[in-house]
Amino acid sequence: MADTIFALSSGAPPAAIAVVRISGPCADAAVMRLAGALPEARKASLRSLQSTDGRMLDRALVLWFPGPRTATGENLAELHCHGGRAVVSAIECELAAMDGLRRAEPGEFTRRAFANGVIDLAEAEGLGDLLSAETELQRRAAQSAVSGSLSAKVEDWRSRLLSLSALVEAQLDFEDEDDVGTLPDMFHVELSELLEEWISALNAPRAERLRDGVRVVLAGPPNTGKSSLFNALLDEGAAIVSAEAGTTRDVIERPVALGGVPFVLVDTAGLREDGAGEIERIGIDRARAQVERADIVLWLGEEGEGPEGAIEIAARSDIQASSKATADYEVSAVTGSGVSNLIEGLISQAKSILPQPGEAALNSRQSSALSNALTAIQGVESGDDALLTAERMRIARLELDRFLGRHSTEDMLDALFGRFCIGK
Interface contacts to ligand GTP, rule CB under 6 A: 222-228, 241-243, 245-248, 269-270, 315-316, 318-319, 332-334
Query: Out of Mg ion, ligand GTP, none, which partner does residue 319 contact, by CB within 5 to 8 A per kind?
Result: ligand GTP
Strand residues in 24-179 grouped as ranges (E)? 45-50, 56-65, 76-82, 101-103
CA-closest candidate to residue 339, choices 215, 230, 221, 224: 230
Min. distance of Cβ 323 from ligand GTP in angstroms? 15
Distance of alpha carbon 136 from alpha carbon 259, whole angstroms: 8
Residues 100 and 30 sit within 8 Å (Cβ to Cβ): no
SS3 102: strand
Residues 229 and 160 sit within 8 Å (Cβ to Cβ): no
Min. distance of Cβ 338 from ligand GTP in angstroms? 9
Count of residues near Mg ion by CB under 5 A:
4
Query: Out of Mg ion, ligand GTP, none, which partner does residue 222 contact, by CB within 5 to 8 A per kind?
Result: ligand GTP
Residues 95 and 51 sit within 8 Å (Cβ to Cβ): no
Site mask for Mg ion (CB under 5 A), range 226-245, x = bound:
xx------------------
Min. distance of Cβ 344 from ligand GTP in angstroms? 18
Furthest C-alpha separation in the chain: 88
**CB closest to ligand GTP, residue no:** 270
Q: Which is nearer to ligand GTP, 248 or 366 (CB)?
A: 248
Min. distance of Cβ 292 from ligand GTP in angstroms? 18
Q: Which is nearer to ligand GTP, 84 or 221 (CB)?
A: 221
Query: Out of Mg ion, ligand GTP, none, which partner does residue 228 contact, by CB within 5 to 8 A per kind?
Result: ligand GTP
Min. distance of Cβ 339 from ligand GTP in angstroms? 9
Min. distance of Cβ 289 from ligand GTP in angstroms? 16
How does DSSP assign 136-185, residue by residue? HHHHHHHHHHHTTHHHHHHHHHHHHHHHHHHHHHHHHHHHHTT------H
Note whether 248 binds Mg ion by CB under 5 A.
Answer: yes
Cα 286 to its chain centre, rounded Å, is 28
Note whether 247 binds Mg ion by CB under 5 A.
Answer: yes
Q: Which is nearer to Mg ion, 193 or 302 (CB)?
A: 302
SS3 12: coil
Distance of alpha carbon 297 from alpha carbon 306, whole angstroms: 8
Query: Out of ligand GTP, Mg ion, none, which partner does residue 224 contact, by CB within 5 to 8 A per kind?
Result: ligand GTP
Q: Which is nearer to ligand GTP, 219 or 258 (CB)?
A: 219
Q: Which is nearer to ligand GTP, 186 or 240 (CB)?
A: 240
Residues 6 or more apart whose CB falls under 8 angstroms from that of 17 comprise 10, 80, 81, 82, 83
Q: Which is nearer to ligand GTP, 77 or 241 (CB)?
A: 241
Min. distance of Cβ 240 from Mg ion in angstroms? 7
- How many CB atoms are located within 10 Å of the residue 55 CB? 10
Distance of alpha carbon 31 from alpha carbon 23, whole angstroms: 11
Q: Which is nearer to Mg ion, 118 or 314 (CB)?
A: 314
Q: Which is nearer to ligand GTP, 227 or 367 (CB)?
A: 227
The contact set with Mg ion (CB under 5 A) reads: 226-227, 247-248
